[in-house]
């Protein structure tokens, strides 16, 4: 069953945001942004996949016969769009921008005098 074109394009956006999130988490100065994008993306993606599943269940489809590939597409698309919204908030909302551009999140025990 073909998916809507917007969903297909949003899946590519979601993939790009997923890679951007991993890059942010690997970069010390961008770690806060990576955590924000990742958390918002996981919540939105899970909600999108849940809505997809519940719509099929409301139509009377047994849970074992709901196709899982489109649910994954909805997850990735939701991740992408929420990531774009978080990036816009980080760019244009002063309170978010100051926290994202603040000191980097350090890994546990990486500062002087801390024991891990």
pLDDT at position 2: 66
**Over residues 66-92, mean pLDDT:** 92
- pLDDT tens track for 20-64: 999 999 988 888 899 999 999 999 999 999 999 999 999 999 988
Supply 103's token pair: 């000191």
The length of the chain is: 116
**b/e 79-104 (16+ beta carbons within 10 angstroms → b):** bbbbbbebbeebeeeeebeeebeeee
């Amino acid at each position: 069953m073909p998916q809507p074109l917007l969903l297909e394009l949003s899946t590519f956006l979601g993939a790009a945001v997923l890679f951007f999130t991993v890059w942010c988490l690997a970069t010390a100065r961008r770690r806060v942004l990576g955590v924000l994008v990742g958390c918002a993306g996981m919540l939105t993606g899970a909600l999108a996949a849940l809505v997809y599943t519940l719509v099929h269940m409301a139509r009377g489809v047994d849970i074992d016969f709901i196709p899982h590939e489109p649910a994954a597409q909805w997850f990735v698309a939701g991740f992408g769009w929420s990531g774009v919204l978080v990036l816009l908030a980080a760019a244009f909302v002063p309170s978010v921008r100051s926290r994202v551009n603040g000191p980097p999140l350090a890994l546990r025990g990486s500062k002087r005098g801390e024991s891990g």
